[in-house]
Amino acid sequence: MSTLSVTTRKSAEVSHAAVPTRRLRRWGLGYPHDVWRPREQDLECSCLPTKVQNPSVRVSLTSAEDLLHAFLEHVPDGVYFKDRESRFVRISRSLAHRFGLGDPADAIGKTDSDVFRPEHAQQALADEQMIIRTGEPIVEKEEKETWSDGHETWVLTTKLPLTDDKGVIIGTMGVSRNITDRKRIEEELHHHRLHLEELVAKRTGELQRAKELLERDVAARKLAEEELAQKAKELALANAELENLSLVDDLTGLYNRKGFLALAHHRVKLAQRTGEPFFVAFVDLDDLKQINDTFGHQAGNCALVDAATVLKQCFRDSDILARLGGDEFAVFIAEADGQKIAHRIASKLAAYNDSAGREYCLSFSTGIVSAVSAEDFEIETLLAEADSLMYQQKRQKRSARKS
């Protein structure tokens, strides 16, 4: 069994008015809970007592429109609603700002063709018409936006059908998150890697030419040997730099430490700008040495791959999962509930141990820290704090075994 430690830098108490609700149609695909909205008749004063004896507990009902307006005014992601002809009927203020509009109401009646190049607008239209025809949502799709002025941005977008009270599709709704910075970093790393591969190929060709020169001209043997040694040194340096640049762990296919720190650093900066909450988790695979000593190193490698598979099932593609080295893993999680994270890891691990059929069971020691993204946190500091919590839990497990 795996137990988890959670620490939170800042917490907020949220109170909820007891408002009668009606369930909307749920568009599943991994969504954590149903969506609810108040009925207009439920918002009338007649649904409450005429007088409240204690003013300190008086409930103030807010209309569904007020709640939606407050959400659209403050949500950092781009949120929109469209009719069946893909015309905007409502957008969030953050999306209006991206469109260069002073008032979100100015977007009413416009389409993507008013802000984007035709090729992107036509693709968005095709996606939305497909949703209207089939009723199937598009979840977390990476899209390149080509704007009318020529500049390009990237978003992670989810689009769903919009239905009326009878379940009839009357349009679409969606939310998009700007991931331009992340895509730019990935592109820069890709170009850097290509450059180093070209350098290695060039040096390899020079080595081959030096060898041929040595075979043709014995008189130039000494000079060729010196040139060959120099080129071999340059090749070794280039290979070492190429290896250091690699972002992926060969065994598990996850990011390695270098890849995790590079991507998580930029995600922290983005969270500081948007106010998005996030967590950093440090996960240690317990008793890996005992598995190696008892069943062999091949079994130990299988245990590491299985641990990576379990962790992949716990998180979304937009989270950053890495093997730092040995039996240690780290995760950057764009989520606001540490307890849900802990329970999800424990549940997936228990399901694996029940069905894997291995000669051993996997166990995790885990430390999770949360950050208030408005503060200036360094990813290395958060990772060290999560590591410390993980070792506290590991010591508690050892003490429990001895007792």
Instruction: Identify the bridge partners of residue 370 per DSSP, sorted by sequence position.
Output: 279
CATH architecture label of 257-402: 2-Layer Sandwich (3.30)
DSSP string, 121-161: HHHHHHHHHHHHHH---EEEEEEEEEBTTS-EEEEEEEEEE
Alpha-carbon separation of residue 311 from 84, 225, 259, 386 (angstroms)? 40, 51, 17, 16
- Residue 233: strand, helix, or coil: helix
Instruction: Map tokens 């969270």 to a residue.
Output: 271
pLDDT value for 187: 86
Instruction: Identify the bridge partners of residue 108 per DSSP, sorted by sequence position.
Output: none
How far from the centroid of its chain's Cα atoms is residue 389's Cα? 23
Give the single-character DSSP code of 109: T
Superfamily of domain 62-178: PAS domain (3.30.450.20)
The region that residue 171 occupies, defined by phi over 0 for left and psi between -120 and 50 for alpha, beta otherwise, is left
Residue in 277, 266, 272, 251 with CA at minimum distance from that of residue 329: 251
Instruction: Identify the bridge partners of residue 188 per DSSP, sorted by sequence position.
Output: none
> What is the tens place of the pLDDT at every residue in 51-96?
334 444 333 445 788 898 999 999 999 999 999 999 999 999 999 9
pTM for this predicted structure: 0.41
> Positive or negative CA dihedral for 241, 245, 248, 249?
positive
- Comparing 118-127, 272-281, 359-368, 375-384, which segment has the lowest mean pLDDT? 375-384
- Residue 396: strand, helix, or coil: helix
**For the chain, what percent of residues have pLDDT higher than 70?**
78
> What is the tens place of the pLDDT at every residue in 141-165?
999 999 999 899 999 999 999 999 9
Q: How confident is the model at residue 225 (pLDDT cuts 50, 70, 90)?
A: confident
Count CA within 13 A, CB hemisphere, residue 121: 15
- In the chain, where the domains are located: 62-178, 182-245, 257-402
> What is the tens place of the pLDDT at every residue in 364-382?
999 999 876 445 578 998 9
Phi then psi for 101, rounded to 5 degrees? Answer: -105, 140
